[in-house]
Amino acid sequence: MKINDLLNQTSEWLKGTGPNAEIILSTRIRLARNIENKPFSNWATKEQMKQVFDETLSRLSEVKTIKAGMILSLKELAALDRQFLVERHLMSKEHAMHPDFKGLLIGKDEVASVMINEEDHLRIQVLGSGFNLRKSWELADKLDDQLSEKITYAFSLELGYLTACPTNTGTGMRASVMAHLPALVMTKRIGKLLEAITKFGLTTRGLYGEGTEASGNIFQVSNSVTLGQSEEDTLEYLERFVKQLISHEENARRTLLTQQRAELEDRVWRAYGVLRAAHIITSNETIDLLSTVRLGVDLGIIKEIDRLAVNELFIATQPAHLQKMEGKELTPPERDVKRAAIIRARLGETRV
């Protein structure tokens, strides 16, 4: 399996087949782990980072859950390939920078991945479609157990798993959902909801996690507390809140359909029309229009395409994906032309 093979497959989280997938695009469990008696990545010398990289890579290659996938050394990858992997949510933007002695393991279905020498020695990730915290946690826990048989983690009986950033110490777990909330934005109810998220001790970020703002009406909601709570506590707390979040978005969608249907349909069809006709389109405009079209698909306003087609376009129209498909680097204006051509071609296909 090679990186270019990923172009020809749909990431599991994009399939739109999980529970409540019309609102929750994906569920992610991320575990931060470090190796006992080894300095954290940010404080390690190059030689120490190399030791962690070499030892970890050889041991992880034996782990069953990700054995059939890819094992990558980031230093051997072009910058474009690293950005491509970030766009697919297989690793963080921070991990793509300064690639020396950094690695990435990817399961064959892109559900599980492990970053080596990010902020922590290991960042274990499971990413699935829809709202499925329990299933994602079960797989992450299984992978974590398999890794712990090969590697001795840095662990304190008093504090839990020791991590580079104190905010991750304890369980080392970040559980998150990627929520599509266009109706709450259109009805201007999103502000109060974001305030509530903060008061509940949760965190919101954009499509690409920490350091990114929400675009395309997509918000990533995750726990912010890892110390003094069990994994079960975290899952239950986030699960309760996300169910309320889903209910609020569903109510807002019903409001749009019953009280503002003409305006909603006009907005949806205008977005669809622009995407199908544009010959030059930017990334920001694309994601905003796709968000509106996805809402139209989920509400049955647009029947010509399905949710999968829209989900795939969220990623296929990103800069690195465009250039990988073209087989060469493109300038921003060239990407805008290529993006529009891909959208016209895909929305012209019958997907249902």
pLDDT digit string, tens, across residues 291-349:
999 999 999 999 989 999 999 999 999 999 999 999 999 999 999 999 999 999 999 85
Residue 57 is predicted with a pLDDT of 82
Number of separate helices (H) and strands (E) present in the chain: 12, 10
How far from 323 is each of 205, 216, 319, 329, CA to CA, in Å? 26, 22, 6, 5
Per-residue pLDDT, 352? 38
In this predicted structure, what is the pLDDT of residue 157?
Answer: 93
* Residue range 208-245, pLDDT digits in tens: 545 445 678 999 999 988 888 999 999 999 999 999 99
- Is the pLDDT higher at 178 or at 56? 178
249: pLDDT strictly greater than 80: yes
Rounded alpha-carbon distances, angstroms, from residue 303 to 14, 166, 256, 265: 19, 48, 18, 13
Q: pLDDT-derived band of residue 151, with 50, 70 and 90 as boundaries?
A: very high
Pair of tokens at residue 218: 């997509």
Give the C-alpha distances (Å, rounded to integers) separating 7 from 2, 3, 74, 136: 10, 8, 18, 24
Give the rounded percent of residues in the chain with a pLDDT score beyond 70: 95
Q: Hey, how many other C-beta atoms are within 10 angstroms of the C-beta on 54?
A: 13
Give me the pLDDT at residue 214, please: 61
* Residue 138 or 61, more confident: 138
- CA 247 vs CA 109, 190, 251, 252: distances in Å: 31, 13, 6, 9
Q: How high is the mean pLDDT of the chain?
A: 91
One DSSP character per residue, 234-258 reads HHHHHHHHHHHHHHHHHHHHHHHHH
DSSP E strands in 209-304: the ranges are 218-223
Percent residues over pLDDT 90 in the chain: 76
- Residues 171-213: tens digit of each pLDDT: 999 999 999 999 999 999 998 888 888 888 898 887 654 544 5
Q: What DSSP element (H or E) covers 321?
A: helix 319-326
Going by pLDDT thresholds of 50, 70 and 90, the confidence category of residue 23 is very high
User: According to the model, what pLDDT value does residue 5 have?
Assistant: 87
pTM recorded for the entire structure: 0.92
